[in-house]
Structure 1
């Protein structure tokens, strides 16, 4: 039962990451209203021309990897820095929007914990 839950959550999580990454390239979802401070932050991030395409690429690749059971452990590690950045950003600048980020972060952490034996050779 637990494996089926992880499978469904991983597929949904992967689809959300792929969607988020594709949106950074094609801008098909409208941006929500943001305070002036957050607009300044996003403006600063957009001045570094390679940063958002890199994040988008990591989200797409990580989303595909985490949705496939054989590569799920690698996808979880690839997405961990992105998820940490999302949660930290919302905790410092938009606490009201942190809920979904925390849910996704905990799904990612659960996948990492369930695949911990695959990571042991990296730390030995």
Structure 2
């Protein structure tokens, strides 16, 4: 039963990340008009670095596709980990109203990492 729940949550995380990554290239989700000033400044700073959003989007897409399949899920979690750190810090420091969702997403990622821990231990041992 735990395995089925983890698979469903992994699929949800993968699809969420895939959507976010594709949006960085296709811009199909409208940007809210009432963004906090700090978020607008952050977005403007990201826009100044022309290669940054494609890099983040690529990591999200690659990581999402890897997370969708149990055999590659451990690698996918490693690929999206830095992106997830940025998402969490953004919600802690700039947009705290999104923090509950970020924590749920992090809980799924941490469960995946815990579930695949034996694969990570081989990397350091």
TM-score using structure 2 length: 0.96
Unaligned runs of 5+ in 2: none
Once the two structures are superposed, the pairs formed by residues 1-124 of structure 1 within 5 Å of their partners are 1-32=1-32, 33-124=34-125
TM-score using structure 1 length: 0.97
**Cα distance per residue 1:46-82 (max 9 Å; x no partner):** 1000000000000000000001111011111111111
Report runs of 4+ in structure 1 exceeding 6 Å deviation: none
Aligned to 1:29, what secondary structure does the other structure show? coil
Q: What CA distance in whole angstroms lies between the structure 2 residues aligned with 1:103 and 1:84?
A: 13
Unaligned runs of 5+ in 1: none
Q: What is the RMSD of the two structures over their aligned residues, measured on CA atoms?
A: 0.8
Q: What CA distance in whole angstroms lies between the structure 2 residues aligned with 1:93 and 1:35?
A: 8
Total equivalences in the alignment? 124
